[in-house]
Amino acid sequence: NAGVTQTPKFRILKIGQSMTLQCAQDMNHNYMYWYRQDPGMGLKLIYYSVGAGITDKGEVPNGYNVSRSTTEDFPLRLELAAPSQTSVYFCASSWGLAGGYEQYFGPGTRLTVT
């Protein structure tokens, strides 16, 4: 199993550009999550999904959109990139609510917006 994979690993965007961060998992997990990690800080939840077709906002959703058309994939869309979105983005997945089940994290995408 590859676990949770993320592409790209690094990306530089200009202000106002858009992009999609890809996330896939091959563990048949129902729950998937997107976090951001700003320098010197812990992770903050952007969006999560409890299954295909179902998504919900986390703590910091502004400036992002998500979709979940399949169990495996959970892409994160940035529209009109801003310098404040410079961060490392982590995707994660779990069997169920992460309190009872371990979250498995991808390797992260480092995004710089200039």
Partner 1 sequence: AQTVTQSQPEMSVQEAETVTLSCTYDTSESDYYLFWYKQPPSRQMILVIRQEAYKQQNATENRFSVNFQKAAKSFSLKISDSQLGDAAMYFCAYRRYNNNDMRFGAGTRLTVKP
Q: x/- contact string, 69-88, with partner 1 (CB under 8 A)?
A: -------------------x
**How far is residue 25's CA from residue 106's CA, in Å, rounded to a whole number?**
9
Give the separation between CA 80 and CA 63, rounded to whole angstroms: 8
Nearest residue (CB) to partner 1, 80 versus 97: 97
Give the separation between CA 8 and CA 95, rounded to whole angstroms: 25
- Under the binding rule (CB under 8 A), the answer on residue 95 touching partner 1 is no
- Contact segment (CB under 8 A) with partner 1 among 14-22, 37-45, 61-69, 74-82 equals 37-45
Instruction: Determine if 39 is a binding residue for partner 1 (CB under 8 A).
Output: no
Which amino acid is present at 45?
L
Give the nearer residue to partner 1 in terms of CB position, either 18 or 57. Answer: 57
* Partner residues linked to 94 by β-bridges: 31
At 84, is the secondary structure helix, strand, or coil? helix
Which two tokens mark 49?
Answer: 């999904």
| Beta partners for residue 23, in sequence order | 6
Residue 92 binding partner 1, by CB under 8 A: yes
Q: Which residues bind partner 1 (CB under 8 A)?
A: 31, 33, 40-45, 48, 50, 56, 58-59, 88, 90, 92, 97-100, 102-103, 105, 107-108
